[in-house]
Amino acid sequence: MERTIFTQIVNREKDIEAVADGYKTKINHELWLADGLQKDAIQNCWDVRSDKKHGKNWECGFLLMKIDNKEVLCISDKGTTGLNGTKFYTPNELTKILEKISNESQRGEDLACFLNSNWSSKSIEEGGNRGRGKTLFLVASQSKNVFFESLRSTDNSYVFGEFYLDTADKQVKFSLHYDDDGKAMLKSELGEKISPITEYGTKIFILNPDTAVTQAIKSGELISFISNSRWETIRKYEAKIFVDDGNEKKYANLPYWYENELKGVEEKEFSPEIIKDGTEYKIKRLVLRYAPNLNVPDSIRGIAIQRGGMTIERIPAEELVKEQGMTDIYGWLEMESKPLEEEMKIRCEGPEHFNFTWTLNPARYLRNHIQSKIREFAKDLKIIESEQAKKNKIQKTAEEEALKLLTPLFKKLGLFGKHKGKRKKKGLSRKKNEPLRLSVPDMEFPRDDKRVNYGEKINGTYVVPINEFGESILVLVRVFIVSADGKTEMLQEKEINLHTGEGPRIGPDEIAISKKYKAGGYSLRARMIALENKDKILPDGVKIEKGTILYERVNQKFYVEINPPESGPFEFQPKGKDDKSYLFEWEQEGDGYIIYYNELHPRIKPLLNDGEGLRDYFAEQGSLLALQIKLEELIADDDKEDKDFTKLVKGKDASAVYKLFLNRHSEFLWSLKE
């Protein structure tokens, strides 16, 4: 029985769409086609440079022009070899060449490979070798129609051709013309405006380029894409790559971020090293940079993984090391060509040259290596906290929270704030009302602790002048805000003839807290000043004259975006000593006390990593220390405020001390648990 063998007919239109989808998914921004096109096109041009070592006289460019009023994108290269390889005239001859490429890995068949899909004449060391880039030329043409011309360095031969998608049978077809025939075809297809190429190299003419491509050229984004991905080639070889939108020709520059010795940027270069023990995978260079205050653009952030002089992918540092400050790290990594770069390309790189599969080795080894180096770099620069710093933070937080818990006890004992002067405050009775005064009757904060965040309001920020003086008086009332650094913002200033009783509200109804208020402490203040002389005197004996400050006791504090400072007579501080008799000790400093704790003591040491445990321990011990300090102060000052303590001091009975302490300590612990 005779077998009939069919060759599968491939719908090339769908193939083109599939290639486009691949790029679209990997590049993930609106101008993906322009970005993908530049990367592939430049890589192809770079791979065929005549001077492999230095890239001398090499140039590549994108020119947007009009031929017969239709837009054409011309991608050209110079200082390259042109489409060399065996000339062919018939499909059979082409098949033989492709068979040789397939069976014998024949190299140098640039022309045949250029015109056929999924064939590449390139070695593995070169940038592309999947043969996909040229399909992208068809993707970039709305009419799926591309012309090309090339002057070949091997035989000085000229070649002109066209390749296109035949919408009837969904196949990609091409035609070829050599030498004079080719030049005539160029003239016939593209008109007089285009002269045949005179230097070795190739020009690709993409007819009706996609709007995303033309838009990227006109907006200047194409040149940014080029700079950001080809910066290594530009830096090392001073490579010339231009974009000409028909009006202006611009060359891609080395992005500022890759220049040497940048101000405000900390840098560390890791020299060549094996990335995984027991392998030969070696990097050439890893450079990490930290630019905390310079707003590194998103397109540069992360570690650029370089291959073949181009950036394949940037891995965000914050993806590798989940700590604060990582977004300000950028850098790049270059690989030794063998075996690391080669295997990264074969095994791990996506066909679009925009990503690596990081789950496969050696990419996984490389990622782990970069991760550990970023961590090392960040630790050197103290961007991320060392374990010790973290421990310190736990301690600090525990100290602060313990002080908060102790505050009610401090108040009960009459131990006042460290920054509030000596504790000789006799009660908290309010001063008698003055006959001429200002009242702030309706002030309301968003929360009890007087913290106000951006976007919130403080209501009732006006004052009401009150006159119980017995006669009218001309006054000036000023309502203002004073910041912690002493800056004053006048809210309202009003002259009024203040009759007996209440005067009008002065000041705004509310203060909206916007970013014009820097985070910190503020005071709403008000002052009433006499604007006339009076014969009558004030209760404190001051004669009223023009300029006399009648009242200035308005001082309402609030805190923008910060918690109010904790006031307490104590401050905990760690001081480790290898001394068994020392658990806590205290020293007077200013108006308060510093309680030193022995962080080496076996009772405290295990708590250093346990914030809550440490807080509770400090609070418990702090209560006993507060009692002891109170007792010391009473003995020193002969204070009679606290009856129990006074009795204790007078009684001179040492046995009663611990009993009282234990009572108070127990009460405190009970209240804590409640």
Partner 1 sequence: MVIKIRKKNKSKETVQYKSAKKILTPQDIKEADRFDDALNQEIQEIEKVLLKEKMLTPEARKSNMLGAWYLIGTRINNFLKKYKVSSEEENLFWDHLYGRSSLISKTAPTSKISKTRNDFRIASLLAHHPITKLEKIELWALWREIITYKAFKDERVLDWVIKKLEQSPPKTRNEGRPFLKAVSKRLKRIDTTVLSDKELIVKLNEVTRW
β-pair type (501-502, 464-467): antiparallel
Using the contact rule CB under 8 A, the part of the chain among 25-33, 59-67, 380-388, 428-436 near partner 1 is 380-388
Tokens 């769409």 correspond to what residue?
17
Count of residues touching partner 1 (by CB under 8 A): 28
Closest distance to partner 1 from the beta carbon of 290 (Å): 11
**Which residues, in sequence order, are bridge partners of residue 67?**
70
**What DSSP line would sit under 404-429, residue for residue?**
HHHHHHHHHHT---TTS--S-----P
Residue 492 binds to partner 1 (criterion: CB under 8 A): no
Residue 386 binds to partner 1 (criterion: CB under 8 A): yes
Closest distance to partner 1 from the beta carbon of 295 (Å): 17
Residue 485 binds to partner 1 (criterion: CB under 8 A): yes
Using the contact rule CB under 8 A, the part of the chain among 30-38, 96-104, 385-393, 603-611 near partner 1 is 385-393
3-state secondary structure 48-62: CECCCCCCCCCEEEE
What whole-number distance in Å separates Cα of residue 219 and Cα of residue 236?
27
Looking at beta carbons only, is 367 or 478 nearer to partner 1?
478
What whole-number distance in Å separates Cα of residue 641 and Cα of residue 422?
15
φ, ψ dihedrals at 189, nearest 5°: -85, -40
What whole-number distance in Å separates Cα of residue 74 and Cα of residue 204?
5
Nearest to 128 by CA among 215, 217, 19, 225: 19
Of 262, 484, 649, 657, the one binding partner 1 (CB under 8 A) is: 484
Using the contact rule CB under 8 A, the part of the chain among 101-109, 269-277, 302-310, 483-491 near partner 1 is 483-491
Looking at beta carbons only, is 311 or 548 nearer to partner 1?
548
Residue 562, CA atoms < 13 Å, CB-side half-sphere: 13
Using the contact rule CB under 8 A, the part of the chain among 6-14, 53-61, 99-107, 381-389 near partner 1 is 381-389
Looking at beta carbons only, is 132 or 527 nearer to partner 1?
527
Q: Which of residues 68-107 bind partner 1 (CB under 8 A)?
A: none
Residue 316, preceding peptide bond in cis (omega within 30° of 0)? no
Residue 545 binds to partner 1 (criterion: CB under 8 A): yes
Nearest to 136 by CA among 259, 32, 37: 37
Closest distance to partner 1 from the beta carbon of 520 (Å): 7
Residue 389 binds to partner 1 (criterion: CB under 8 A): yes
Nearest to 657 by CA among 620, 632, 637: 632
Token code pair at residue 373 = 């180096």
Looking at beta carbons only, is 400 or 510 nearer to partner 1?
400
Token code pair at residue 38 = 């530049």
Q: Which of residues 323-342 bind partner 1 (CB under 8 A)?
A: 325
Looking at beta carbons only, is 22 or 592 nearer to partner 1?
592
Pattern 176-215, partner 1, x by CB under 8 A: ----------------------------------------
Tokens 């490429």 correspond to what residue?
101
Q: Which of residues 522-541 bind partner 1 (CB under 8 A)?
A: 527, 529, 531
Of 441, 565, 606, 651, the one binding partner 1 (CB under 8 A) is: 565
Write the CB contacts of 434 (distance below 8 Å, at least 6 apart in sequence).
538, 539, 550, 551, 553
Residue 2 binds to partner 1 (criterion: CB under 8 A): no
Of 393, 499, 553, 605, the one binding partner 1 (CB under 8 A) is: 393
Inter-residue contact 198 to 186 (CB < 8 Å): no
Looking at beta carbons only, is 482 or 657 nearer to partner 1?
482
Pattern 584-623, partner 1, x by CB under 8 A: ------x---------------------------------
Closest distance to partner 1 from the beta carbon of 548 (Å): 5
**What DSSP line would sit under 301-312, residue for residue?**
-EEEEEETTEEE
Which helix (H) or strand (E) segment holds residue 529: the answer is: strand 520-530
Looking at beta carbons only, is 150 or 548 nearer to partner 1?
548
Token code pair at residue 269 = 């270069």
What whole-number distance in Å separates Cα of residue 237 and Cα of residue 390?
46
Looking at beta carbons only, is 333 or 544 nearer to partner 1?
544
Residue 339, preceding peptide bond in cis (omega within 30° of 0)? yes
Which residue type sits at 390? Answer: K
Residue 396 binds to partner 1 (criterion: CB under 8 A): yes
Looking at beta carbons only, is 253 or 386 nearer to partner 1?
386
Closest distance to partner 1 from the beta carbon of 324 (Å): 9
Using the contact rule CB under 8 A, the part of the chain among 163-171, 393-401, 423-431, 440-448 near partner 1 is 393-401
Residue 383 binds to partner 1 (criterion: CB under 8 A): yes
Closest distance to partner 1 from the beta carbon of 549 (Å): 5
Looking at beta carbons only, is 530 or 625 nearer to partner 1?
530
Write the CB contacts of 429 (distance below 8 Å, at least 6 apart in sequence).
none
Which helix (H) or strand (E) segment holds residue 20: the answer is: helix 12-27
Of 486, 602, 643, 654, the one binding partner 1 (CB under 8 A) is: 486
Inter-residue contact 18 to 328 (CB < 8 Å): no
Looking at beta carbons only, is 215 or 523 nearer to partner 1?
523
Write the CB contacts of 529 (distance below 8 Å, at least 6 apart in sequence).
475, 476, 477, 478, 547, 548, 549, 550
Closest distance to partner 1 from the beta carbon of 666 (Å): 29
Residue 220 binds to partner 1 (criterion: CB under 8 A): no
Using the contact rule CB under 8 A, the part of the chain among 148-156, 256-264, 299-307, 392-400 near partner 1 is 392-400
Looking at beta carbons only, is 114 or 618 nearer to partner 1?
618
What whole-number distance in Å separates Cα of residue 285 and Cα of residue 308?
14
Instruction: Report the 10 Å Cβ neighbour count for 193.
Output: 11
Token code pair at residue 281 = 């995978």
Q: Which residues bind partner 1 (CB under 8 A)?
A: 325, 382-383, 385-386, 389, 393, 396-397, 399-400, 476, 483-486, 520, 527, 529, 531, 542, 545-549, 565, 590
